[in-house]
Structure formats: C-alpha cells, structure tokens
Amino acid sequence: MRLCQTVTCHTHGYLRVFIDFRCQLLGSSPRNYPSLLGGKLKKTITFVAVLAAAALSFSATPAANAAATKACLALDTGGVDDKSFNASAWAGANAAAKANSSVTVKYLAAASDADYAPNIKKLVDEKCNIIVGVGFLINGAIVDQDGEDHGPDGSVYPGTKFKNLKPLQFNTNESSFQAGYLAAGVSKTGKVATYGGLNIPPVTIFMDGFAKGVAHYNKVKGKKVEVLGWDIAKKDGLFVGGFSDSAKALQISKNFEQQGADVIFPVAGGLGGATAGNSLTSKKSVVIWVDTDGVKAAPQYRKVLLTSVVKGVDTSVKAVILDQANGKFSATGYFGDLKNKGTFIAPYYDLIRRVPSALRTEVTKLGNDIRNGKVSVK
C-alpha cells in the first residue's frame, strides 16, 4: 500500500486541479485507478474538477510534515511552453521548489488525450506526493466540476463528497467583463470578437463575461458595439474544436478582421499566438490575451496586446504544493476573484496610449464596482 496525492489543473481556461488527492493503492491493477485510468472513480482516488466559475480543484489530506515532497505535473496537450495553463502551472511548481528546498518537481507532457491516463499512472508509480493533472479533459468522470463524484457519466446527484477534497475556483467572468468593457471603449469600428478552443465551461465563462462587459458598455454609453463569436442569449459561439489547430485559429482571426473586428479575445490557450501573430502582420486588430499576462508569457506579441485576462494558476499551484510540504494543507475551498486578486486584467503596457485616460478610470472603477457588488457580471 502506498499513499499519493494528485492534483489536476486547467482546461485552457478552466483550471482543474486534482491537488494532493490522497490515494491508497492496493496494487498496480488498473481497477485500483479512477475512471481516468479506465476504471470507475474510487473513493480512494479522488479526482476533482472545477465549477463553471472556472477553477482549480484539488483534494488533500495533509501528510505529517514529510521530509520531502515530490510534486509532479501531468500536462495537457500543447507542451510545457504553451504560454497558457501548462506554462503557468509549471511556473508555479518551480516557484514552490525554489521557495522550499524539500520540494522537487517534474512533468510529463501529453501529445494527445490518450496520454493522460498513462502519464498519471507513471507519476503514481514514481511515488509522487502531489500529481497536478493539467487539463479540463483529463478526467471525464466529474463533469459538473464541483469536486464531487457524479458517476462515470456525470448523472448521479447528489454526488459523493470526499473529506480530502479542496475546491479552488476562479471567477474569470469578472475580469473578462472588464476586458469586454475595455474592448468596446477602444474599438474604432464598433465590432469586437472572441472565439474559444472548445465549448466547455472553463472557456465559455471568459467569452460570456467578455460579451456581457461589451453589453454593459453599450448600456452605459448608449452605444451599439457588436460582439462577433459569442451569443449571450444562446450561450454559444465560435470554436476551434481544440487547442492545437493554429491554422484554424489564424483563419478565424482573419475572418473576424474581414468582418470589421478590431479587438479580438481568443480563449484558446496558446492559440492566442496565431491571433496575435496575424494582428502584427495585418495591423488591423489588437488582442486580449487569456490565462497569463501575455506580455510576460509571449513578449514577441506585446505590440498588439491590449491587456490580458489573468488567472492565478501559478500562485495557486505554488501555494498548494508549499502547504502540502509544510503539512498545512486545508480542505477549505478557495474562490479566486477580483476581490482577492485570484483573477485580474494585466497592464496596458505598449498600448496604454490606445486607452484614453477616462476609459482607464472607468475600467478601474468597474472592477471596484464588481468587487463591491454594485455591478453584476451574471
């Protein structure tokens, strides 16, 4: 028998962390692993997902001040340098190792979704204390992302709760709302656009918040700025169909420009690079990055990056690993929002002159009003 903790994060917009989930493996048979590995989800191996609010979810029963903590990441497709969730989670893990010499870190990359289960199993077999699975699609057993086991097809309600589970969720619709208001205020054509990687909650929460921010701008200003790529009423929009087809992302971006959009918000992880690269060439649009601060993650695009809608994946992963290493892991849930800086919009950097001072003030005030409950992003 051996104990292990596992974390999974992200979804290219939706962070799910099976962090520090303690599993008691009675052997190496696949039946002792969760549905991720081909069997049914067991109470002994708790995989957690994120709520529709977009989040990091993880489980944990603190180890008694272990002398060493081996933190392992099972990455999603896109590679460790995807300029998005993989990169952010890995940066957080490295920051934890730098802060605590007892922590060691490693990762396994996935070339396709077929690698998720084998990679998790390899890390379990390597006796990792914490396994961070980076990818919304890494586990199909828990579809509601509420940290409960709803059965293989997600139909069992209420779900089974686990004492060693800690949900960590991010309300990225709040910062996306600000970004939408900003985009509407900056647009000279009266058209802005957004597209996603997949039609899944961790992606659409950004798109919906963005479109509602534009709608709020129109209401306040008496304008009619149009949003391409997302319909608030239908809760549907334009998607690449994954997070690796840069050719399709590029074509979508060009199509948006042809339709008149001059601000584009790609919610597709590293595919934002295809959009930003096109903007650099065409000089017809500017881009709002997603997940990380784009100027820091992909500085080659800084000339066309208006801002970024940031989710604190790195800081969250770092904190969780350090808590586990120090024997202080708490099962109390965490919600990252504008109030606690779990999500926020990045500085305007090179394009600050593109944003009138009055608009900057309005965007800042809007953030305060969302924090204080004066403005609803729902």
Distance CA 236, CA 201 (A): 11
Res. 128 pLDDT band, cuts 50 70 90: confident
Query: Token pair of 10, please?
Result: 């992200």
Q: Choose the most confident range, by mean pLDDT, from 165-169, 198-202, 268-272, 368-372.
A: 368-372
What sections of 198-267 are H helices per DSSP? Answer: 201-221, 246-258
282 Cβ contact partners less than 8 Å away, ≥ 6 residues apart: 254, 257
Mean pLDDT in the chain?
79
Mean pLDDT of all residues in 168-172 = 81
pLDDT in tens, 187-231: 999 999 999 999 988 899 999 999 999 999 999 999 999 999 999
Residue 69 bridge partners (DSSP): 103
Res. 57 pLDDT band, cuts 50 70 90: very low
Element spanning 172, H or E: helix 172-186
How high is the pLDDT of residue 45? 29
How high is the pLDDT of residue 46? 27
pLDDT in tens, 29-53: 333 333 333 333 333 322 322 222 2
Q: Which of 76, 79, 61, 80 is nearest to 129 (CA)?
A: 61
Q: CA 166 → CA 20, 33, 310, distances in Å?
A: 9, 20, 22
Residue range(s) occupied by CATH 3.40.50.2300 in the chain: 2-171+314-336, 172-311+343-371
Domain covering 172-311+343-371: architecture: 3-Layer(aba) Sandwich (3.40)
- Fold of the CATH domain 2-171+314-336: Rossmann fold (3.40.50)
How high is the pLDDT of residue 146? 55
Q: What percent of the chain has pLDDT over 90?
A: 48
Q: Which of 224, 226, 282, 220 is nearest to 251 (CA)?
A: 282
10 Å CB burial of residue 283 (0-12, 13-18, 19+) is: exposed
Q: What percent of the chain has pLDDT over 70?
A: 74
Residue 64: is its pLDDT beyond 60? no
Higher pLDDT, 165 or 257: 257
Q: Is the peptide bond before 158 cis (omega within 30 degrees of 0)?
A: yes
How high is the pLDDT of residue 213? 98
pTM: 0.74
